[in-house]
A and B are shown apart, each in its own frame.
Chain A
Amino acid sequence: MKVLVAVKRVIDYNVKVRVKSDNSDVDLTNVKMAMNPFCEIAVEEAVRLKEKGVASEVVVVSIGPKASQEQIRTALALGADRGILVETDEKLESLTVAKLLKGVVEKEEPQLVLMGKQTIDSDNNQTGQMLGALTGMAQGTFASEVVVDGDNVNVTREIDGGLRTVGLKLPAIVTTDLRLNEPRYASLPNIMKAKRKPLDVTSPADLGVEMTSTLSLVKVTPPAERSAGIKVADVAELVDKLKNDAKVL
C-alpha cells in the first residue's frame, strides 16, 4: 500500500509571531521555520505503517517555495522514501492546495493520504476535507488512532464530546490530531541518508491547476492585549477579590 503524506513549511511553533507595523501581514523575516507539528505526526504515522509492513512506500509532498525542500528532507530523514515539491511562491488558499494535492493523488494513486488537521499559521483546518470532496475519498479527521484492515481503515477521531470511530473504504484521507503518536527525532545517519533520497520538483502548471485567489487580506492586527493584573497573598484574599471586586462568585 502506498501512503502519501502532505507536509507544510510554517513558522516554528516555539516562535511568537509579530504583526508588521503597517498591519499588512505578520512579519516572517528571519523567523525560524519548521515542519508544521501536525504534519510531523502524519509523517510519523506513515513511517510506523511502513515499519508494520502495512505500507510499502511513503511518499511525502509539500507545496510552497523552494525552501520547503528542507521540510521534505526532514520527512525523508524520518523514514519517508521519496519526496515531491510542488514549487510556487504564491500565497496559497486551502482550495488551491486541495486542487494541487488532487493532481498529485491522481499521479501517485496512494491508498492512504495522511496530513495534519491544520497548520499553525493559518489555522484553517480545511485542506484534508476539501481534498476528500474533490477526490470523492472518505475522510477521517482529527485522528487519534488509525487501524488499517484490508481494504478498510478504522479511524478514531477526537470530537468535542469524546471519541468517535468511523470506518472508511480505501483509498481514504486521514488528518492527524495531537495524540495520534509522538514523532521521533531524526538520527544523524538518517539525515545523511535522506540527502540521497529522490526529490522531484514539479509546478502547479504541470499539475494543470490554475492559481486563483478569492480571498484578500484587508489587514492583520495584533489581538487585544490583556494586561497582567495583581498578585494576591493568599486564598482568602483571592476569594474576597472574586466576590467583591470582580463579582464573579
Chain B
Amino acid sequence: MSILVIAEHDNATLKGATLNTITAATQIGGDVEVLVAGSGCAAVADEAAKVAGVSKVLLADNAAYEHQLAENMGELVAELGKGYSHILAAATTTGKDFLPRAAALLDVNMLSEIIKVEDAETFSRPIYAGNAIATVKSSDSIKVLTVRGTAFDAAAAEGGSAAVEAVDVVKESSVSSFVSEELAKSDRPDLTAAKIVISGGRGMQNGDNFEMLYKVADKLGAAVGASRAAVDAGFVPNDMQVGQTGKIVAPELYMAIGISGAIQHLAGMKDSKVIVAINKDEEAPIFQVADYGLVADLFDAVPELENAL
C-alpha cells in the first residue's frame, strides 16, 4: 500500500493541517508520500520532507498551481494518484474544493472528514452535524479521504529525511482563474490550531463589543471565534465561524460567550477538552455541554474575567 497526502500550504510554509493528515495516513499503514503542488514552493517541499513518517515528497512547482484552483488540482491529483491505494487531504476549504473533483475523475467515491481509521478500508465520519457517527467500508480501488484535523494528532514536523522528487505534470485549465483574495490579518493564533478559543455569539450585540473578547484573548494567547448567528448578523467575518459548516475546533479550553448553543454550533466545538459557557439565559442549551457554566450578563462577566487573568 502507498498513500498520497496532498500538502496544505501557501507556497511559503507547510500548514499544520497537513501534519494531522499525515498521522491519519500512517494509521492506515504503508508508505506515506506527500504531494506539494504550488508555485515557487520548494521550501514547502523541504519542510514536508522533514516530517516524521514521510517516505517521499513530490514537488509539482508550476504557475498553474499557484492558487491551487480546483480544476487544475483535481486533474493533477487524479493523474498522480492513480498508482496509490489511498489519497488524503485535510478537510479544509482547499481540500474540500479539489479532492471530490479528483475522486470523480478517478471514478471513485470519497469519504469526507474522517475522524477515525478503523482499518485500511473502513473509516468513521460524522453525519447529521455530528449527531451520529457513521462507520463506512469502501470497496473502491483507490480510497479518497479528507481528514478532520482535530481528530488526529499532528505528526512530528522534524525527524524525517525524505527525498524530494520533481514532477513535471502541468494541468492548466482555461475555464477558471484567480481574481482576488481578502485574507484576514491577525496576530492571534489560528482558530483551528489555538490551545484556547474564545467565541462570541448573538449576545455580543455588535461587532464593536468583540473588542472585549480580543482583550481577553490577548491575555491568554487565544484565538477568537464566533457563532453562525454572530457572523450572519455581520458582527465579524465568515472566517471566524465555528460550527458544522464553519471551522471545527477542539482546543484545550473553549469559552462560549453569549452563545445559545445551536446543534450546528456544538458540532464545531464539542470535542474541546474543557468548555466554559457564559450566558444570561439559564436555559441555554450550551450549558448542557459546558464543564463550567456561569449564568451572568456577559457585559459584566467578560471585563471582570479580563481583570482576573
Which of B132, B175, B179, B292 is close to A238, meaning CB atoms less than 8 Å apart? B292
- State which residues 30-66 of A face B: CB under 8 Å: none
The answer to whether residues A222 and B182 also contact, given A214-B109, A215-B138 and a CB cut-off of 8 A, is no
Q: Are B108 and A138 in contact (CB under 8 A)?
A: no
Judged by DSSP, the binding face of B is: mixed
Residues of A within 8 A of B128 (CB): 11, 17, 26, 120-121, 123
- The closest CB in chain A to the CB of B8 belongs to A160
Residues of A within 8 A of B136 (CB): 215-218
- The closest CB in chain B to the CB of A230 belongs to B292
The answer to whether residues A169 and B176 also contact, given A123-B244, A163-B238, A215-B109 and a CB cut-off of 8 A, is yes
Asked if A223 is at the interface (CB within 8 A of a chain B CB), the reply is: yes
What is the CB-to-nearest-CB distance from B164 to chain A, in angstroms, rounded to a whole number? 26
Residues of B within 8 A of A136 (CB): 175
Residues of A within 8 A of B275 (CB): 226, 229
Q: Are B290 and A223 in contact (CB under 8 A)?
A: no
What is the CB-to-nearest-CB distance from B71 to chain A, in angstroms, rounded to a whole number? 6
Contact flags (1/0) for B289-305 with A, using CB distance below 8 Å? 11111111000010011
Asked if B205 is at the interface (CB within 8 A of a chain A CB), the reply is: no
Q: Are A222 and B132 in contact (CB under 8 A)?
A: yes
Q: Are B101 and A133 in contact (CB under 8 A)?
A: yes
Q: Are B176 and A242 in contact (CB under 8 A)?
A: no
The CA-CA distance from A249 to B309 in the complex, in Å, is 9
Q: Are A246 and B112 in contact (CB under 8 A)?
A: no
Residues of B within 8 A of A124 (CB): 110, 112
Count of chain B residues near A, Cβ 8 A: 91
- The closest CB in chain A to the CB of B288 belongs to A228
The CA-CA distance from A49 to B307 in the complex, in Å, is 52
Contact flags (1/0) for A121-162 with B, using CB distance below 8 Å? 111111111111110111101101000000000100111111
Which of B100, B127, B288 is close to A130, meaning CB atoms less than 8 Å apart? B100
Residues of B within 8 A of A232 (CB): 292-294
Count of chain A residues near B, Cβ 8 A: 78
Interface with B: A93-101, A105-113, A196-204, which one? Answer: A93-101
Asked if A188 is at the interface (CB within 8 A of a chain B CB), the reply is: no
Interface with B: A1-9, A75-83, A171-179, which one? Answer: A171-179
Q: Are A130 and B253 in contact (CB under 8 A)?
A: no
Asked if B157 is at the interface (CB within 8 A of a chain A CB), the reply is: no
Q: Are A215 and B111 in contact (CB under 8 A)?
A: yes
What is the CB-to-nearest-CB distance from A149 to chain B, in angstroms, rounded to a whole number? 11
Asked if B98 is at the interface (CB within 8 A of a chain A CB), the reply is: yes
The CA-CA distance from A92 to B18 in the complex, in Å, is 30
Interface with A: B19-27, B51-59, B89-97, which one? Answer: B89-97
The answer to whether residues A121 and B127 also contact, given A94-B110, A226-B289 and a CB cut-off of 8 A, is yes
Asked if A234 is at the interface (CB within 8 A of a chain B CB), the reply is: yes
The CA-CA distance from A242 to B137 in the complex, in Å, is 41
The answer to whether residues A162 and B239 also contact, given A141-B97, A229-B291 and a CB cut-off of 8 A, is yes
Which of A93, A219, A234 is close to B109, meaning CB atoms less than 8 Å apart? A93
Q: Are A123 and B126 in contact (CB under 8 A)?
A: yes
Asked if A207 is at the interface (CB within 8 A of a chain B CB), the reply is: no
Contact flags (1/0) for A225-249 with B, using CB distance below 8 Å? 0101111101110110110001011
Residues of B within 8 A of A154 (CB): 179
The CA-CA distance from A141 to B177 in the complex, in Å, is 14
Q: Are A26 and B293 in contact (CB under 8 A)?
A: no
The CA-CA distance from A223 to B238 in the complex, in Å, is 27
Contact flags (1/0) for A160-196 with B, using CB distance below 8 Å? 1111111111001000011100000000000000000
The CA-CA distance from A158 to B113 in the complex, in Å, is 18
Q: Are A132 and B101 in contact (CB under 8 A)?
A: yes
Q: Are A231 and B103 in contact (CB under 8 A)?
A: no
Q: Are A123 and B112 in contact (CB under 8 A)?
A: yes
Beyond contacts A133-B78, A228-B289: 19 other A-B pairs, Cβ-Cβ < 8 A, are A17-B131, A17-B132, A93-B109, A124-B110, A126-B112, A133-B74, A141-B97, A160-B192, A162-B237, A215-B136, A215-B140, A219-B134, A223-B132, A228-B287, A230-B293, A231-B292, A232-B292, A235-B308, A249-B220
> Can you report 16 A-B residue pairs in the complex whose CB atoms are below 8 A from each other?
A125-B96, A132-B101, A138-B173, A138-B176, A154-B179, A162-B182, A167-B179, A179-B232, A217-B134, A219-B135, A222-B132, A222-B133, A229-B275, A229-B292, A235-B308, A239-B305
